[in-house]
């Protein structure tokens, strides 16, 4: 865990270690304890943020949070790392460095992460089944590369986290975990989740593909209302932009969560 934190010390989407070595101590029961000193997440974790919001975040907040998580995963995956234990409690919340924004997110909890030098066929099960990918839970049902530990495992977990941010609740159906949403979400968000939760790892979207997806892609503000142009021109331009945005939304792939 410390190695990964030090490796990505300057990445704004990964929690930063404040010491370059482990610290050991003995408690009152003579038990040896090991500590990692890291920056303090004064706003808690994503679980707390969702709870404080009444169990569901707004779509704009989900969109922003998703993009930050993707940026952290992009750093890991591009260097050959896989988180393997992505869940809301391992996403820490900090006061934002961006003017006008309330919070920033950083990835943490790398104790089960796969490093580039590790065998991809080893078993890294994760710690919370609701966010674990099918190949992590039922490995014997997969063959070939789909059995190996790869970035697709984190993508599945991200899809489940997005459902959680939208107020989704894990339920058991025929002995397996699925998620239920009690309110509708946008077509963009629906398609994004489906691309994360493809059953076969090889069918899931990559981090780069998801960063370009209409749901997560950064949207530049349109300032047409401030331009000195006739109102009918603004309406015409805005109508064309709306049509273009609808065309960019990928069609659902028929994948279930």
| Residue at token pair 């707390």 | 48
Candidates 92, 90, 87, 173; CA nearest to 130 is 87
Of the candidates 246, 188, 256, the one whose C-alpha atom is nearest the C-alpha of residue 217 is 188
119 classed as catalytic:
no
Q: Which of 20, 60, 85, 154 is catalytic?
A: 85
Half-sphere exposure of 90 (CA within 13 A, CB side): 24
Task: Look at the block and give the residue holding tokens 């961006």.
Answer: 98
Pairing of strands 32-35, 91-95: unpaired
- Residues 6 or more apart from 100 whose CB is under 8 A from it? none
Residue 244: exposed, middle, or buried by beta-carbon count in 10 A (0-12, 13-18, 19+)?
exposed
Q: Which active-site residues does the annotation give?
A: 85
């Amino acid at each position: 865990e410390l190695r990964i934190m030090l490796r990505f010390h300057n990445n704004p989407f990964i929690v930063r270690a404040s010491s370059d070595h482990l610290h050991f101590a003995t408690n009152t029961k003579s038990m040896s304890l090991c500590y990692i000193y890291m920056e303090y997440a004064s706003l808690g974790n994503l679980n707390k943020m969702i709870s404080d919001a009444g169990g569901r975040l707004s779509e704009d907040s989900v969109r922003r949070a998703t993009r930050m998580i993707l940026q952290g995963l992009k750093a890991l995956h591009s260097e050959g790392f896989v988180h393997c234990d992505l869940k809301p409690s391992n996403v820490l919340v900090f006061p934002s460095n961006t003017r006008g924004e309330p919070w920033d997110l950083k990835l943490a909890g790398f104790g089960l992460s796969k490093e580039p030098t590790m065998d991809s066929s080893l078993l890294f099960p994760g710690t919370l089944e609701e966010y674990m990918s099918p190949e992590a839970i039922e490995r014997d049902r997969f063959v070939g590369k789909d059995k190996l530990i790869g970035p697709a495992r984190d993508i599945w977990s991200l899809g489940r986290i997005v459902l959680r941010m939208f107020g989704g609740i894990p339920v058991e159906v025929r002995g397996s975990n699925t998620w239920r949403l009690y309110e509708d979400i946008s077509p963009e968000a629906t398609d994004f989740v489906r691309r994360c939760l493809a059953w076969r790892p090889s069918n899931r979207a990559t981090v780069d593909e998801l960063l370009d997806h209409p749901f997560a892609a950064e949207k530049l503000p349109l300032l047409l209302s401030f331009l000195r142009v006739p109102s009918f021109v603004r309406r015409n331009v805005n109508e064309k932009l709306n049509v273009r945005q609808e065309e960019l939304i990928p069609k659902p792939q028929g994948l279930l969560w």
